[in-house]
């Protein structure tokens, strides 16, 4: 089920759109201001963001640019706003939006735009299935090779599986149990520190000596792969 983040500061408009999208089978989260939108985005995984431009705290343009600076697997973004001049549209698209729909709008057209964006995202995802990346780190699943800033990184088979799992779950907090079950595929004694040992091995290879960290510790919860920003 596709997940949508709706960022709209007018409660009646947000309620109307959410109700219609819920009925179409989408899962919709709603933010009413820019700060809340970024917080929700950081906490979840979304296939599409519907974004107003004029918002409290942070504008839709700022949010769009922030999302685009993050992982390469960022969602499709649809600007939905009353600002309909050519300059506004160009500004929205240049900030990283995939499409732009002006208010007032017909709900059927909004649905058509959403379906088109999600179809395109699915096509692009399948065509790039064998290349996983974040920032300047790339993992080619065909050749089983990893590059950071153009430099090849030699990995053991376990380090490779661990990096692949991190890259497939960017911006998600992964517990040690998650990693044990999905990387090692067996149930270790929960008292073992094998996860911490291998995360440290991987950090030494992909983070040490580079400008920004990609693997971060979330105290008491596990690890997360994301850019510093």
Which pLDDT tens digit goes with each residue over 18-39?
A: 999 999 999 999 999 999 999 9
Total-model pTM: 0.57
The whole-number pLDDT of residue 184 equals 73
Helix intervals (H) in the chain:
11-23, 34-43, 60-68, 86-94, 107-127, 157-168, 176-179, 194-206
Minimum mean pLDDT range among 12-16, 29-33, 184-188: 184-188
Q: What is the pLDDT of residue 89?
A: 85
Protein fold of 131-225: Arc Repressor Mutant, subunit A (1.10.10)
CA distance 72 to 35: 22
Q: What is the pLDDT of residue 75?
A: 84
How large is the average pLDDT for residues 73-77? 78
CATH 3.30.70.360 for the 3-127 domain, yes or no: no
| % of the chain surpassing 70 pLDDT | 90
Using an 8 Å Cβ cutoff, are 160 and 198 in contact? no
> How far is C-alpha 178 from the chain's CA centre?
19
Sign of the CA dihedral running 88, 84, 98, 33: positive
The 10 Å CB-count burial string (b at 16+, else e) for 166-194 is bbebbbbebebebbbeebeeeeeeeeeee
Residue 172 has pLDDT above 80, yes or no: yes
Rounded to the nearest 10 degrees, the angle between the axes of helix 60-68 and helix 86-94 is 30
Given this model, what pLDDT does residue 129 score?
A: 65
| Comma-separated ranges of CATH 1.10.10.10 domains in the chain | 131-225
The ranges of the chain annotated as CATH 3.40.50.2300 are 3-127
Cα–Cα dist 186/189, whole Å: 10
Taking residues 158-163, report their average pLDDT: 90
Element containing residue 99 per DSSP (H, E): strand 99-102
Helix (H, G, I), strand (E, B) or coil at 43: helix
Compute the CA torsion angle 146, 149, 153, 155 (nearest 10 deg): -50
Q: Dihedral sign, CA of 125, 127, 131, 136?
A: negative
- At 7, phi and psi to the nearest 5? -115, 105
Q: Give me the residues paired with residue 51 across strands.
A: 7, 79
């Amino acid at each position: 089920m596709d997940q949508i983040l709706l960022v709209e500061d007018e409660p009646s408009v947000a309620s109307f759109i959410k109700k219609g999208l819920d009925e179409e089978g989408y899962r919709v989260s709603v933010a009413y201001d820019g700060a809340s939108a970024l917080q929700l985005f950081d906490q979840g995984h979304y296939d599409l963001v519907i974004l107003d431009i004029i918002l409290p705290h942070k504008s839709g343009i700022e949010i769009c640019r922030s999302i685009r600076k993050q992982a390469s697997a960022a969602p499709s973004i649809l600007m939905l706003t009353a600002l309909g001049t050519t300059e506004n549209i160009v500004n929205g698209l240049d900030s990283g939006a995939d499409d732009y729909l002006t208010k007032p709008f017909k709900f059927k057209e909004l649905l058509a735009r959403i379906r088109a964006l999600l179809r395109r995202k699915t096509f692009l995802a399948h065509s790039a299935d064998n290349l996983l990346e974040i920032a300047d780190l790339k993992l080619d699943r065909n050749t089983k090779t990893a590059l950071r800033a153009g430099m090849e990184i030699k990995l053991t088979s376990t380090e490779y599986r661990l990096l692949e799992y991190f890259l497939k779950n960017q911006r998600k907090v992964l517990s040690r149990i998650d990693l044990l079950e999905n990387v090692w595929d067996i149930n270790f004694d929960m008292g073992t520190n094998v996860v911490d040992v291998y995360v440290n091995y991987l950090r030494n290879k992909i983070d040490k000596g580079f400008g920004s960290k990609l693997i971060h510790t979330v105290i008491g919860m596990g690890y997360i792969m994301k850019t510093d920003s």
